């Protein structure tokens, strides 16, 4: 199912909208040069996370998946397999799992947790990222293969 149109608020309708990375790029990455650069960062983060062999779920939220013409960055939550050992990572992949470093190096706000640590279970944990700071719901996008 394609990613739905924006609501009047400029957000996606509430829900977890599943799409391939290519669909995300086509929908959100072509509207401005800022968005084109941001989608390149998103691809880099996704590829690095996938190289760990432990990426369970990859969810995008925040201004990148809205109608905002110039998002500041891309916000990502990653659920990793329970046996994921961040201390075994080397190089760029290791940088991805330090929030402050990831913001600086990848221009992305990256949060991560092992599936076992997802409060309420992984589905409830992911669904919780739909709630904006003001308490209103928004749609988020989960990248699928």
Please indicate, yes or no, if residue 53 is contained in any of the structural domains: yes
Residues 6+ away with beta carbon under 8 Å from 1: 17, 18
Please indicate, yes or no, if residue 54 is contained in any of the structural domains: yes
State pLDDT tens for residues 40-58.
999 999 999 999 999 999 9
Task: Provide the mean pLDDT of the chain.
Answer: 94
pTM for this predicted structure? 0.94
Domain count, the chain: 1
DSSP symbols for 125-143: HHHGGGB-TTS-B-EEEEE
State pLDDT tens for residues 49-105.
999 999 999 999 999 999 998 888 899 999 999 999 999 999 999 999 999 999 999
Number of C-beta neighbours around residue 114 at 10 A: 18
58-84 core/surface letters (b: 16 or more CB in 10 A; e: else): bbbbbbbbbebeebebbbbbbbbeeeb
Please indicate, yes or no, if residue 114 is contained in any of the structural domains: yes
Structure confidence at residue 81 (pLDDT): 96
* 117, 93 Cβ separation under 8 angstroms: no
């Amino acid at each position: 199912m394609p990613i739905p149109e924006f609501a009047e608020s400029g957000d996606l309708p509430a829900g977890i909208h599943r799409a391939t990375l290519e669909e995300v790029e086509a929908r959100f990455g072509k509207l401005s040069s800022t968005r084109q650069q941001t989608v390149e960062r998103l691809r880099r983060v996704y590829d690095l996370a996938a190289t760990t062999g432990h990426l369970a779920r990859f969810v995008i939220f925040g201004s990148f998946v809205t109608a905002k013409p110039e998002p500041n960055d891309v916000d990502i939550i990653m659920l990793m397999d329970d046996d994921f050992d961040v201390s075994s990572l080397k190089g760029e992949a290791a940088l991805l799992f330090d929030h402050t470093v990831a913001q600086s190096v990848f221009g992305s706000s990256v949060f991560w947790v092992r599936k076992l640590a997802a409060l309420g279970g992984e589905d409830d944990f992911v669904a919780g990222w739909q709630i904006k700071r003001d308490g209103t719901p928004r749609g988020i996008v989960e990248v699928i293969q």
